Structure 1
C-alpha cells in the first residue's frame, strides 16, 4: 500500500523465514481487507463471496516465550483472477496453522485455524500492495511465527483481463464500465461496436458475471432493439446494486424523423431464466435534434430511479419542472429523472440548473444515491466565480470553471435543490463537474475537474499553483447531520503531469470510503499495482489512482494502478467502477489494441487497434 513506509522487495514468488511480527495502529474494519477463501483443503474454513464484505479473524499476537513448533517457510504467488496463493512448509510438531495479515492496522487472523499447508484467497489487488503476512505454526505449547512477508510484487498475474467475445478494431470496449454492489456483475460499453451490421458505430454492451462454478463468464452481448448508424449505444452504462437492472445511454441516436443526435436511453432487466430483456426505450419529453439525450445515465442502487442527461438541450428554464419549450439558452443542458412504477418507466422530474446559462452543458455528469433520493449533476462549462458551497450563483467571472448541483427528493414535496457546489480553488477552464459520484447513503460526493492546473501532489497539497495545465484534480465533500455540505479533501495524482487529465473518470465505492480516479493521458511505463510512478515513455498510456478514507487519518493514496500490458495510446482509466465495499475495481482502456478475445487472453501485441479492454483488480 502506497502509504506504507517499509517493504521487503520480493519477486513474484515470495519466500520468507522466521521472525516475530510487530503489530500496531488502529483496528481497521474494511470490507475485503482479509480476502475471500477460494481453495482450501480444510472444509471447515470459512468461505466468502468475491467482492462481498468479509469479517477478518480475531486479532492475534505471537508469544515468543512459548516453546512452539519450528517455524514454517511461507511463500506467495499470484494467479487470475485476483488470487493470492499461499503455501508453506510443514512444521514438525505443529498441530495447526494460522495466516495473519497486517493491513492498515494490527495483525489479524485470516479465516480459521488451518490443518493444510496451502490456501488461496481472492483479494482486492489495489488494496494489498504493501500488505504484510505471517504464518503461525501452532500446537498446545504456543505458536511460532514466520518472518513477515510484504507484498511488493505488482501482482500482474492476478489481474483480470477482459475483452469482448467479438473484439474488433476500433470498437472502444471499455469506454464505459459499471459494477454491481458485490462486484460479481460487470457491464462494459463498446460504443463503436458494429455487431456485424453494415452500419458503423451502432454500439454494444457486454455483461460479465462471476459464476460460482466457472469463475468469470460473459453472460450477454446486449444490443439495442433498434440499432442505428452512429448511435454509440454503450457510450454510458449503469447497473443496479443487485446487478439485475442495466441502463444504457445512446446519446448520438437520431430521432424518429431523422433528427440528428436527438439521443436515447434504454433499460434492460435480467430474468434468471430468460436472461436480459429490453424493458424500456426512452426519449426526452421535449427532445430535439442535437440534444444528446443519453449522454450520461445514472441508476439508483435499488434500480427504481433513473437519471438521464441531455447536455446540449436548449431550454432556458431553471430549477425543477420549468418551461421545456423555451429554447433561448442553447446547449444549456438538462436532466430527466424517471421512476419505475412496477411496469413502466415514467418521467418524474425535468431538472435544470438554478442559474441556467447558454453553453453550460449541465448534465455532463450525473449520479444517484442508493435509494434514488439524492441526485448530483455536473455542469462543466458553468462560469461561476464562487468557491465552496452555497456561493453567489450570479457571479459569472470564471468562464468554464464548472459547478455541481445537488438535489434531494422528498416523498411529499418532490425534488428540490440542496446545494450549489464549486471547487475550493475555482478557476476559469477547470471544468469542475467532469464526473460526479455519490456514496450509497448520499452523504459523500466526489467530483473531478480534469482541466484543473494545480501542481500539488497527493491529498490536500497546495492548491494555489496553476503551473500544470490540465493536470486535473478531484474533490471529496461530505454532508453533516445538519444537511450541510463541506469539502473534505482536495485530491491530486501522486506525480501530476501536464495534460494528464486526472479526473477523466472517477468512481466512489457505495460505502463512501474508496475513491478511484482515472488519468487517461498519463505517460507512466509501469505495469500492475504499485509500480514506479516516476517512469515515463508511454504516451497516453493512462493510469488509475486509488484512495482510501482511513479512520483517524482521512483520505490517503492507497495505490497507483496500471494495465498489465502498458503501452502508449491505451487510454487506461477511461472508465472505472468499484464494488460497494471497494474490494473489486474495474478499469476500462477503450483504446487498448491487443488482438485477443474473451477473458484471460493474450494481452501482448497490437493486433487490433482500439478494440479496448477492461482490467479487474
Structure 2
C-alpha cells in the first residue's frame, strides 16, 4: 500500500547529546461488534488508508475458521464501523487484508470455490461507493491446486494487487514441491486480470525433507512499481540452515524482474529464523521481520533488519534487537515503517510474571542511525493480551493489535495511540556514538538508548512517562534491561556530567568499580532502592501532585539508575548504570 507521510516526528539531539523522547498517548480502542471468545480481532491483519481502517479476523461468531473483515471510518477523532464482510465456513476469510483508498482486498487461503481444487484459496476485491463496500472480483490462481493457500498474504496499490500462495505447487514437480507462488493482478476499468506469476525455488523442497519448500509468498508488500516477497524458510547456502530470504521485484520496460535477493545477515541464526515472515515497505526503505532469529548461544530472541535503496542497490542500514532480548518474545513478529519512524511488535513479552502481555518498541531515525526511543505496553493488563501482534503507523498515529485482549477471552482489540515529543529527554547512552566510551569495551549496540552492556548482554534503560506538572500531573520512572533480581538505586542531580573538559555535558564519566558511565552529579539525591524482577525490570519512582520528593516548579533534574551486577567478562566493577533522563517540572 502506498501511503503519504502525514507527520514526521524528527529526532533531535542537543550539543550535550540529549535526545527528545517520544510519548504514546492512548486515544481509543476498537473491537468487533460481537467480541466472541477466540475471535482474535486485530491478531492477524490490519491496514489503514487515510481515514479508513480494515481489520481481519479468521474466526467468526457463528462458525470457526469462517472469518470476517471489518472496515472502520474515522470522523474527527471517532472510528465508526462502516461495513463488515463475513466469510463462509472453513475459508479463514480475513487472514490478510489490504486497503488503498476505495479498494479493499481480503484473503481467504483455505477456501474452496466451485470448479477449483479443495482448499486452494482466493482473494476478494471490494470497492467503496458511499458507505457501502461491494465485491468487485474474486481473484484465484490460474493454476490453482489443492493446499495452495492462495490469499494468505495480500497487498494493493491503486489498480494493482499482489497475492501470495505459500503452498503453491510447482507444476509438474515429482515428488510434489510446494515452493510457493506470488500472483500479480491488474485492474482495467472494473475488470481484474492476472498479469504475472512468480514461483519459489523448487530445488529447495527436498532439503526440507518434505513437499514443503521455502515458503515463497508467506508475506508480500507492494508499493508502486515495486513489490517484495518473503520466503522465510529459504535455504541460504548452508545445508540445513533455512534462515529465509526476501525477493525484490521491479517493473522494468513493462515486465517484472527480480532485481535483488536479500538474506539474513545473522550467520549464527537458528535452523529456521523466519527472515522475511514480516515486511514493511516505505519508499526506498524496507523493514524485514526475523522473529525467531537466534543469538550465538542459540537463544531465540528475534530481530528486525532495515535496508535502504540508493538507486542502484539495497544496503543494510541496521539490524535491531530488543535492548533486553528474551527467548521466545517474538521481537519482529510485526513491524511498520513510516518516514523516520519504525514500530516493532513483540507479542510474547512477559511482564510482571504474566506471559504474553506483549509490547511495542518505536525507533526513530537520527544523526547516528536508528535509535530505540519508546517502549510501551497496555497499562494495567493482568492477563495475556498479545499486544503487538499487528502494528500500523500513520504519521504520528499508531495502531496496535492485541489478539488475546479481553474482557471476553481472546476476543482481541486494536488500540490507537498518538505519538508526540515528550518533555523528557534521554542522554548518556552507552551505545558508542557519544564522546565517552563504556569503561571495559562494553558499548551496547548503536540503536540502543540505554546504558552500557551488562552481564546479561542487555542495556539497562531508564524511561520517564507521564506529565511532570506538580499541580495535576503524574510522572513515573521505570527501569528495564538491568541485571535480574538485583538492587537498583535511583539518583537525581542538577548537573549532567562531565561539567568541564573536551566532552560536552551529558556524555558521562568513568568511575572506579563502575562498568557503566556516571552521567549526573552535584546536589545528588537518592530516591530509594528497588529490586529488579526476573526480567531485569523495576518501577523506580512515581511522582504525583504536590512535589512529595522536594521538586519545585520550573526545576530541571537529571535522573539515572545504578544497579549491582556480578562479574562481567572484561570488566572489573560490580556496578553498572542506565542512561540518563532529564525532566523539567512544571507548575
Q: Which moved more, 1:548-557 or 1:430-439?
A: 548-557
1:2 offset after TM fit, Å?
Answer: 7.9
Task: Find out whether 1:450 has 2:347 as its counterpart.
Answer: yes
Q: Report what 2:165 is aligned to.
A: 250
* Kept in 1: contact 2:123–2:139 (CA 8 A): yes
CA distance in 2, matches of 1:349, 1:4: 40
Summarize the Cα distance change of 1:447–1:124 in structure 2 as closer, same or farther, 3 Å threshold: farther
Q: Report what 2:373 is aligned to.
A: 488
* Kept in 2: contact 1:550–1:556 (CA 8 A): no
CA distance in 2, matches of 1:234, 1:430: 27
Q: Report what 2:127 is aligned to.
A: 209
Q: Report what 1:278 is aligned to.
A: 194
Summarize the Cα distance change of 1:218–1:498 in structure 2 as closer, same or farther, 3 Å threshold: same
* Kept in 1: contact 2:82–2:132 (CA 8 A): no
1:4 offset after TM fit, Å?
Answer: 7.5
Summarize the Cα distance change of 1:247–1:287 in structure 2 as closer, same or farther, 3 Å threshold: farther
Summarize the Cα distance change of 1:253–1:313 in structure 2 as closer, same or farther, 3 Å threshold: same
CA distance in 1, matches of 2:98, 2:219: 13
Task: Find out whether 1:505 has 2:390 as its counterpart.
Answer: yes
Once the two structures are superposed, the pairs formed by residues 5-154 of structure 1 within 5 Å of their partners are 51=52, 123-124=74-75, 127-128=77-78
1:211 offset after TM fit, Å?
Answer: 2.1
Task: Find out whether 1:307 has 2:207 as its counterpart.
Answer: no
Once the two structures are superposed, the pairs formed by residues 448-487 of structure 1 within 5 Å of their partners are 448-455=345-352, 467-480=353-366, 482=367, 484-487=369-372
CA distance in 2, matches of 1:513, 1:408: 22
CA distance in 2, matches of 1:124, 1:489: 28
* Kept in 1: contact 2:204–2:235 (CA 8 A): no
CA distance in 1, matches of 2:275, 2:400: 21
* Kept in 2: contact 1:548–1:556 (CA 8 A): no
> Out of 91, 94, 101, which is 1:174 matched to?
94
* Kept in 1: contact 2:166–2:216 (CA 8 A): yes
1:500 offset after TM fit, Å?
Answer: 2.6
Task: Find out whether 1:334 has 2:245 as its counterpart.
Answer: yes
Q: Report what 2:85 is aligned to.
A: 163
* Kept in 2: contact 1:287–1:293 (CA 8 A): no
Q: Report what 1:550 is aligned to.
A: 420
Summarize the Cα distance change of 1:342–1:2 in structure 2 as closer, same or farther, 3 Å threshold: same
Q: Deviations over 1:475-494 (max 9, x none)?
A: 111112x3610112213124
Q: Deviations over 1:319-338 (max 9, x none)?
A: xxxxxxx3414321111111
* Kept in 2: contact 1:335–1:351 (CA 8 A): yes
Q: Report what 1:41 is aligned to.
A: none
1:286 offset after TM fit, Å?
Answer: 6.4
Q: Report what 2:276 is aligned to.
A: 363
Summarize the Cα distance change of 1:216–1:446 in structure 2 as closer, same or farther, 3 Å threshold: same
CA distance in 1, matches of 2:376, 2:126: 31
CA distance in 1, matches of 2:311, 2:381: 44
Give 1 or 2: higher strand fraction: 2
Q: Deviations over 1:487-539 (max 9, x none)?
A: 12213124435443222222222xx32221212222x2xxxxxxxxxxx3x22
Task: Find out whether 1:185 has 2:103 as its counterpart.
Answer: yes
Q: Report what 1:612 is aligned to.
A: none
* Kept in 1: contact 2:108–2:121 (CA 8 A): yes
1:448 offset after TM fit, Å?
Answer: 0.9
* Kept in 1: contact 2:179–2:204 (CA 8 A): yes
1:552 offset after TM fit, Å?
Answer: 5.5
Summarize the Cα distance change of 1:361–1:159 in structure 2 as closer, same or farther, 3 Å threshold: same
Summarize the Cα distance change of 1:434–1:477 in structure 2 as closer, same or farther, 3 Å threshold: same
CA distance in 2, matches of 1:4, 1:476: 17
CA distance in 2, matches of 1:364, 1:205: 20
* Kept in 2: contact 1:501–1:520 (CA 8 A): yes
Task: Find out whether 1:224 has 2:137 as its counterpart.
Answer: no
CA distance in 2, matches of 1:285, 1:340: 21
1:298 offset after TM fit, Å?
Answer: 1.0
Q: Report what 2:333 is aligned to.
A: 434
Summarize the Cα distance change of 1:379–1:123 in structure 2 as closer, same or farther, 3 Å threshold: closer
Summarize the Cα distance change of 1:483–1:274 in structure 2 as closer, same or farther, 3 Å threshold: farther
CA distance in 1, matches of 2:71, 2:327: 43
1:417 offset after TM fit, Å?
Answer: 0.7
* Kept in 2: contact 1:3–1:556 (CA 8 A): no
Gaps of 5+ in 2: 1-23, 29-47, 54-69, 206-212, 425-463, 467-587
1:453 offset after TM fit, Å?
Answer: 1.1
Once the two structures are superposed, the pairs formed by residues 278-427 of structure 1 within 5 Å of their partners are 278-284=194-200, 288-289=204-205, 290-300=213-223, 303-315=224-236, 326-356=237-267, 357=269, 358-369=271-282, 371=283, 373-384=284-295, 396-397=296-297, 399-412=299-312, 414-427=313-326
TM-score (norm 2): 0.56
* Kept in 2: contact 1:284–1:336 (CA 8 A): no
Aligned length: 357
* Kept in 2: contact 1:381–1:399 (CA 8 A): no
CA distance in 2, matches of 1:211, 1:178: 17
CA distance in 1, matches of 2:219, 2:261: 15
TM-score (norm 1): 0.54
Gaps of 5+ in 1: 6-31, 33-48, 53-79, 83-121, 129-154, 316-325, 385-395, 456-466, 525-535, 558-617
CA distance in 2, matches of 1:297, 1:368: 10
Structure 1 runs (4+) deviating above 4 angstroms are 1-5, 49-52, 551-557
* Kept in 1: contact 2:248–2:260 (CA 8 A): yes
CA distance in 1, matches of 2:258, 2:27: 49
1:452 offset after TM fit, Å?
Answer: 1.2
CA distance in 1, matches of 2:113, 2:423: 49
Summarize the Cα distance change of 1:50–1:449 in structure 2 as closer, same or farther, 3 Å threshold: closer
1:284 offset after TM fit, Å?
Answer: 3.0
* Kept in 2: contact 1:338–1:349 (CA 8 A): yes
1:216 offset after TM fit, Å?
Answer: 2.5
